[in-house]
Amino acid sequence: MHGSHPRYWVLLAVSPQLCYNVSNNPAKEADLMAKFQLLPGETLIGEGHMTYRHEYLNYTGKSDSLAPNIHRTTESTRVYVTNRRVVCTHFPAGMEYFQWPLEELRGYQRGSVLKVPAVTILTKDGGQFEFCCVQARELARWLSQAGLPQVDIDAIVPPMSSAEKARRLPGRIAFYLLAILSLLVVFALPTSWVYDLGLKAGTEQGQRPGVGVQTIRTDADISAFIQAGEPATVSPEGLIPCPLARLRDSEQSNRRIHYSSGRRSSRTFQGFDDYRVLPRDPGALDRLWQLLWGGFYNSGYYLKPLEDGTYICVYLDDCAFLFGEPEELYTGRLRSVDAPEEARMLYDMEAEGYDVDTMFILDMYRHGKVNQFADIAMRAGIWFAGAFIAALIHVSITDRKKQPAQ
């Protein structure tokens, strides 16, 4: 065990009460010594208090695994080394941790953890028992007197062969691909609905319809609402999706993203296009791409059929349909078509036979609610939380496999 080995970067504090030569109570010392009995013909080489570091409590007499484990603890123990075996018992309870005959031990390795002496006893079945305290030097001397050789853990575990690396390569590739795919999926998750949690009813754009917000029913209502400047809404039934998506956060637009590195110099970075045209009959690949950038673009353009057979274009948050059809939509304001992409989309829908108003859109989207930095932080937090939970599950399964049978 080397001090630079990754397993030993974390050192739990070793207090004087956990590592000493003699007990402060001679009567208790004699009682504990009485519990350990020498076998016929057995000679005691040395005994003393040690700090035992291990991965999990193990009372079966079998060794811990060689594989590193994040679950570590330290126990105050008393170790007995004879010419036949090595025994470790809990101090002061006296219950046995392990008892190994010398012929089943491979040897021991000396080292240090942050300048504290350490000794690891290695078994022939690949187990290890680590002791880290000042008395570890004495333990190494007793083991040497018992005839155990000093070995190297790194030499016991040989480097991975080319064949083994080739065998594990598909699994590693699958792991990294899964990590990248999960990252893409998390960053494509619709999160704009989070900003609407706790949203109250009112007459502001993007709110739930409050008292006084009326519903547009015919084409004649459009001009009346425009002249009055009043908020309006529509019912959620019969909406027809339009092939256009708009950037959720306008601050991510390629027209606005820039960086000033000094008083006289600036750099412009390529951002996102404000609009993305969607295919009318999307295939599997188109749906995949739409899913991947769905976290940044809002596919919220719809045609709403009115009672007189005409249509009006509405723009709202597509997350409104994330949990099924809502009972009501948002409060909106009628505005004129302000982008060539919107005008082109409406003319295309009109060419397909929809009697739609190509001049005005009922905008029900609460612009500015999505912040690019907060949204990225939220998605990254979800991804790291998922990775942490997956790591805990993996460690739990690994621990269960390494746990010796009772």
Task: Encode pLDDT of 106-136 as tens digits.
Answer: 899 998 877 888 898 888 877 888 888 888 8
pLDDT at 400: 58
* Residue 286 pLDDT greater than 80, yes or no: no
**Least confidently predicted of 62-66, 133-137, 233-237, 353-357:** 62-66
Mean pLDDT on 352-372: 86
Residues 6+ apart with CB under 8 A from 6: 68
End-to-end CA distance of the chain: 29
Write the pLDDT tens digit of every residue in 26-52: 444 444 444 788 889 899 999 998 888
Task: Give the confidence band of 314 by pLDDT, cuts at 50, 70, 90.
Answer: very high
pLDDT at 271: 55
Mean pLDDT for all residues in the chain: 76
CATH number of 6-156: 2.30.29.30
Task: Give the confidence band of 7 by pLDDT, cuts at 50, 70, 90.
Answer: very low
Mean pLDDT on 68-83: 74
Rounded distance, CA 105 to CA 142, Å?
14
* Residue 261 pLDDT greater than 60, yes or no: no
Q: 102: helix, coil or strand?
A: helix
Burial class (CB in 10 A: 0-12, 13-18, 19+), 103: exposed
Which residues sit opposite 233 in a β-bridge?
A: 215
DSSP string, 239-294: -EE-SEEEES-GGGBTTT-EE--SSS--EE---B-SEEEPPSS--HHHHHHHHHTT
Token pair recorded at residue 401: 């496999």
Token pair recorded at residue 261: 């590195």
pLDDT at 160: 66
pLDDT at 63: 43
Cα–Cα separations (whole angstroms), residue 125 to 65, 81, 121: 9, 20, 12
Between 80 and 167, residue with greater pLDDT: 80
Rounded distance, CA 89 to CA 96, Å?
4
Mean pLDDT on 294-322: 86
Mean pLDDT on 8-23: 37
Task: Give the confidence band of 303 by pLDDT, cuts at 50, 70, 90.
Answer: very high
Task: Look up residue 307 and give its DSSP letter.
Answer: T
Token pair recorded at residue 17: 């009460």
Most confident of the following: 243-252, 343-352, 394-403: 343-352
Rounded distance, CA 347 to CA 12, Å?
72
CB of 19 within 8 A of CB of 148?
no
Mean pLDDT on 356-379: 82
Burial class (CB in 10 A: 0-12, 13-18, 19+), 265: exposed
* Residue 92 pLDDT greater than 90, yes or no: no
* Whole-prediction pTM: 0.51
* Residue 58 pLDDT greater than 60, yes or no: no
pLDDT at 14: 35
pLDDT at 210: 85
Residues 6+ apart with CB under 8 A from 63: 98, 100, 123, 125, 126, 127, 128, 129
Write the pLDDT tens digit of every residue in 168-210: 788 778 878 887 777 777 767 777 777 777 778 888 888 888 8
